[in-house]
Amino acid sequence: MPTRFADGAMVPGRALMMTIIVPPLVRLTVNNGKTEIAVRGPMRVMLARRTADLAGVSVQEISGRYRHGVEIEQPNGEHWWFWTSRPSSVLDALQTNGAELRSGCRSVKWADMRPL
């Protein structure tokens, strides 16, 4: 059964820009060793649905100025920030489905999110 979370996110966008989607418009789904991040509702046009196989993916709790969340880093260097009030639940679901958990909570700021 898929595990779903709804909140906000920052992911690489087009033309070296970051796409920021505010809560609760982002849905993170974890199921069968894969994860998917997608925008809900009429904002769907802002971000193509992205999926990742969790093998080789590392995840870590992050803390921003106002929110906590989870960083999902792909083997190719692409990373997503999923902002949530339940980072431990998201981390548990990702780790259970095959992601590698990095310990600790890393403090992040806007400049840390680098576009591809």
4-14 mean pLDDT: 71
Q: Where are the domains of the chain?
A: 3-112
Query: pLDDT tens for residues 19-65?
Result: 666 667 788 999 999 998 887 776 666 666 788 899 999 999 999 88
| 3-112 topology per CATH | PH-domain like (2.30.29)
The alpha carbon of 62 is separated from its chain's Cα centroid by a whole number of angstroms, namely: 11
Would you say residue 100 has pLDDT above 80? yes
How far apart (Å, rounded) are the C-alpha atoms in residues 115 and 82? 15
- Give the global pTM: 0.82
Position 18 scores a pLDDT of 57
Number of continuous H segments (helices) and E segments (strands) in the chain: 1, 8
